[in-house]
Amino acid sequence: MNFNRKDLLGIESLTKEEILFILETAKSFREVLDRPIKKVPTLRGKTVVNLFFESSTRTRMSFELAEKRLSADILNFSASTSSSTKGETLLDTARNILAMKVDCFVLRHSTPGTPHLLAKKLPVSIINAGDGAHEHPTQALLDLYTIREKKGKIEGLKIAIVGDIAHSRVARSNIWGMCKLGAKVRVCGPPTLIPPLVEKMGVEVFYSLEDALTGVDIVMMLRIQKERQNKGFLPSNSEYIDFFSLNEEKLNLAQPDVLVMHPGPVNRGIELPARIADGEKSIILDQVTNGVAVRMAVLYLLLAKR
């Protein structure tokens, strides 16, 4: 298969074949991570800029490690040290960095469409590391990778995504990816946090966590942002916990071999208790490990031939 893209902006625009190709490519990089010497020379001489306008620990470290494992040179740029506070626009910032001759931008930004803006205006590769509530394609790819690794397949699986669907880029990217690979996807949360007409994306909507969990193979809990309460989406965080927090009793409604996922960082005691996050059904840390391999695959596919 010929993977011929300049950018990775989202899962929506990928074909099933492209997704599977990235996941297969990631397998060989996953194997590299278990070697005593975890570095390959694949991207030697390439420069990748991690442009993060929103705080991130996990995604940023994961990208940085993936870049280092591939022997790329790295520039890190984050909002706190940026000139964005001095009125420079995103495009200006990127153009200035590009003038220093770099090969790729990994962009995290709070506004949907910002990676698309850079992709349209700049001749180098853009990887979307999360744009507002729009997409977070590498997260979905690592989630799909982890599900395939544990379950051997994705097609036919019943998957519930629970929480603040409206504001979640992880939910959107996963919905596209899971549906393209043939899973049956349910989304669950209070109606104020379910975006309009989300069922047209191919999912079933549940307001009851019990109903949503019944018979599922995978449950993915999303992080609930504390400020949702202030903006009138929720009466209180404690009421949210009453209705949408995972516990063993509710989890018993799922398949016996159900697996629990979370894109992190977990609000322990809110989305799920520590017992479950650290329990045998949890694959949260596998997601984190696989994230590095999947990001190596994406960087390799976009940059190695350019």
Partner 1 sequence: MPEGLLIKGGRVLDPASNLDEICDVFIKEGKVRKIARNINLSYSELIDASDKIVIPGLIDMHVHLREPGREDEETIESGSRAAARGGFTTVCCMPNTDPPIDDPSLVKFIYEQAKSKGVVEVLPVATITKNREGEELSPMGRLKEAGAIAFSDDGSWVTNSALMRRALEYVKMLSLPIISHCEDKSLSAEGVMNEGYFSTVNGLAGIPREAEEVAIFRDLALAKMTDSSLHLAHVSTANSVRLIRKAKNTGIKVTAEVTPHHLAISDEGITDFNTNTKVNPPFRGKEDIELLKESLRDNTIDVIATDHAPHTVEEKERDYEEAPFGVIGLETALSLVLREVVEKKVLSLMQAIARLTVNPARILGIDRGEIREEVKANITIFDPGKSWLVREEEFLSQSSNSPFLGWKLPGKVEWTIIGGKVVYRSEK
Give residue for tokens 């989300």.
198
Binding segment toward partner 1, per CB under 8 A, in 64-72, 128-136, 147-155, 264-272:
128-136
Taking the complex as a whole, the smallest distance from the CB of residue 206 to partner 1 amounts, in Å, to 17
Binding segment toward partner 1, per CB under 8 A, in 60-68, 190-198, 259-267, 290-298:
190-198
Cβ-contact 83, 104 below 8 angstroms:
no
Taking the complex as a whole, the smallest distance from the CB of residue 91 to partner 1 amounts, in Å, to 6
Cα angle for residues 34, 39, 44 (degrees, 5° grid): 155
Residue 139 interacting with partner 1 (CB under 8 A): no
Taking the complex as a whole, the smallest distance from the CB of residue 85 to partner 1 amounts, in Å, to 14
Closer residue to partner 1 in complex, CB, 201/288: 201
Chosen residue from 46, 134, 158, 250 binding partner 1 by CB under 8 A:
134
Enumerate residues 252-291 that contact partner 1 by CB under 8 A.
none
Taking the complex as a whole, the smallest distance from the CB of residue 110 to partner 1 amounts, in Å, to 8
Chosen residue from 5, 12, 27, 61 binding partner 1 by CB under 8 A:
12
User: Which tokens in the block code for residue 280?
Assistant: 């045998």
Chosen residue from 111, 214, 229, 267 binding partner 1 by CB under 8 A:
111
Binding segment toward partner 1, per CB under 8 A, in 111-119, 140-148, 212-220, 241-249:
111-119
Identity of residue 180: K
Chosen residue from 104, 133, 144, 160 binding partner 1 by CB under 8 A:
133
As a residue count, the chain comes to 306
Q: What is the DSSP string of the chain?
A: -----S-B--STT--HHHHHHHHHHHHHHHHHTTSSS----TTTT-EEEEEESS--SHHHHHHHHHHHHTT-EEEEEEGGGSSGGGT--HHHHHHHHHTT--SEEEEEESSTTHHHHHHHH-SSEEEEEEETTTB-HHHHHHHHHHHHHHHS--TT-EEEEES--TT-HHHHHHHHHHHHTT-EEEEES-GGGS-TTGGGGT-EEES-HHHHHTT-SEEEEPPPPGGGTTTTS-S-HHHHHHHH---HHHHTTS-TT-EEE--S---BTTTB-HHHHTSTTB-HHHHHHHHHHHHHHHHHHHHTT-
Give the total of residues touching partner 1 (CB under 8 A). 26
Closer residue to partner 1 in complex, CB, 55/238: 55
Closer residue to partner 1 in complex, CB, 116/223: 116
Closer residue to partner 1 in complex, CB, 117/254: 117
Residue 227 interacting with partner 1 (CB under 8 A): no
User: Which tokens in the block code for residue 175?
Assistant: 């919905």
Taking the complex as a whole, the smallest distance from the CB of residue 46 to partner 1 amounts, in Å, to 27
Binding marks (x or -) toward partner 1, 70..109, rule CB under 8 A?
Answer: -------------------xxx-----------------x
Binding site for partner 1 (CB under 8 A): 12, 89-91, 109, 111-114, 116-117, 120, 131-135, 166, 169, 172, 195-198, 200-201
